[in-house]
Amino acid sequence: MSLLQSLAVMFGREPTKPPASAYSEAAACLHEAKRANRRSAEERAEVNRQIHERHKVHTWRNRRWLTLLAVNLLFVVSFKFDVQLVEGALTASRVIGFHMADLNSTLQVTLAFKTILINLIIGSMTVLLMWLLLGGRSFCSWTCPYHLLAEMAEALHLKLAAKGLVNDHPLLRGTRTVLWLVFAVLAFATGYTVFETISPTGIVSRALIYGPGVALVVVAVLLVLEVVYTRRLWCRYLCPIGLTYGLVGAVSPLRIAYRPQACHHEGACRKICLVPHVLDCTKKGFAVDVHQGIGADCTRCGLCVDACPTGALKFEVKGLDRLL
């Protein structure tokens, strides 16, 4: 998938099977060979056994949870004990004296006050460089405190769905793009950072550091909706922050790469993915090359890497893939 196609899917376009002209020669040969070579019942049983075993593997999830907790607890401990190592919250902070500002918050503040604040620009450039290297939307899965709560809500949703008590009601993914534009216009027109008032990321971050407030009602309502109505409602369909960081991560060197030659196309990765549309390339006959990066909307959470029974999905640094 090209960069422009990847961005179009992130903005809400539904992924489709590529035309024949899009396949590399190697990919076309591979797909033809797979169509001609059907697996036996024994081979399918072995694949199912491997998938079952992979359900017990949570290597990247555990690393991610530890990192997310450590980052957010650093803010809490620094404030509680007045260490002044980290000051502020995730939306805007100072780390050992260096200003850091969330990119979406910077955009909102700039539009609202219609001026360029030098400290804000310095802070946002630092954050931009960091997430450019680390993969953009990896902010969502490796740092955002709401993400961890949403994972717990998702686990409960899946348990209830398995018992037939709830159903998932997907929304249009383009809703997030519309909201990104709406909040930008509201900030510019009102002179007030409307989104920052209701952003679950900022609300949870500030509640952890400074104590809970009435704004947590917004978070509670979202979590209830994610359990009983729509799986991953905020992160998958509504959050403008994810869109902002997706733009940054579109050209990041750190990514998850897919090698279809090793893939059984069983779909375990798509079942657990926060943004399963980025893994459409894992469907049989969809990969346009024998080695390709996952799209810009990927959060680099690593769940698909843990779930893949054959190692067809792995983290890599672009350009150094032969060394990994």
Residues 173 and 246 sit within 8 Å (Cβ to Cβ): no
More confident residue, 80 or 320: 80
Interval 283-323: pLDDT, tens: 999 999 999 999 999 999 999 999 998 899 999 998 775 54
Tell the residue number behind the tokens 């709560």, with chain if given: 149
- Token pair for residue 70? 């450590």
Of 294, 312, 323, nearest to 136 (Cα)?
294
Helix, strand, coil percentages in the chain from 3-state DSSP, rounded to 5 = 60, 5, 35
User: What share of the chain has pLDDT > 90, as a percent?
Assistant: 74
DSSP assignment of 205-243, as one string? HHHHHH---TTHHHHHHHHHHHHHT-TTIIIIII-HHHH
Q: What are phi and psi of 2, to 5 degrees?
A: -75, 165
More confident residue, 47 or 24: 24
The alpha carbon of 88 is separated from its chain's Cα centroid by a whole number of angstroms, namely: 24
- Token pair for residue 111? 């539009």
Q: What are phi and psi of 88, to 5 degrees?
A: 95, -155
* Residue 118 exposure: Cα atoms within 13 Å on the Cβ side: 0
The arithmetic mean of pLDDT across residues 57-61, rounded, is 90
Tell the residue number behind the tokens 């780390």, with chain if given: 95
**pLDDT above 50: residue 324:** no
**Residue 281's pLDDT is what?**
95
The whole-angstrom separation of Cα 29 and Cα 238 is 40
The arithmetic mean of pLDDT across residues 91-99, rounded, is 84
The arithmetic mean of pLDDT across residues 30-41, rounded, is 81
The arithmetic mean of pLDDT across residues 71-94, rounded, is 90
Q: If you compute the radius of gyration of the chain from its CA atoms, what whole number of angstroms results?
A: 21
**Residue 323's pLDDT is what?**
44
Tell the residue number behind the tokens 């969809």, with chain if given: 286
The arithmetic mean of pLDDT across residues 42-64, rounded, is 77
Local confidence band at 52 (pLDDT 50, 70, 90 cut-offs): low
* Partners of 315 in the β-ladder: 256
**Residue 83's pLDDT is what?**
84
Local confidence band at 222 (pLDDT 50, 70, 90 cut-offs): very high
Q: Give the lowest-confidence range in 160-164, 175-179, 218-222, 317-321.
A: 317-321
**pLDDT above 90: residue 96:** no
Q: What are phi and psi of 254, to 5 degrees?
A: -90, 125
**Residue 34's pLDDT is what?**
86
Query: For the chain, what is the mean pLDDT?
Result: 91
**Residue 321's pLDDT is what?**
56
The one-letter code for the residue type at 131 is: W
Interval 4-20: pLDDT, tens: 899 999 999 999 999 98
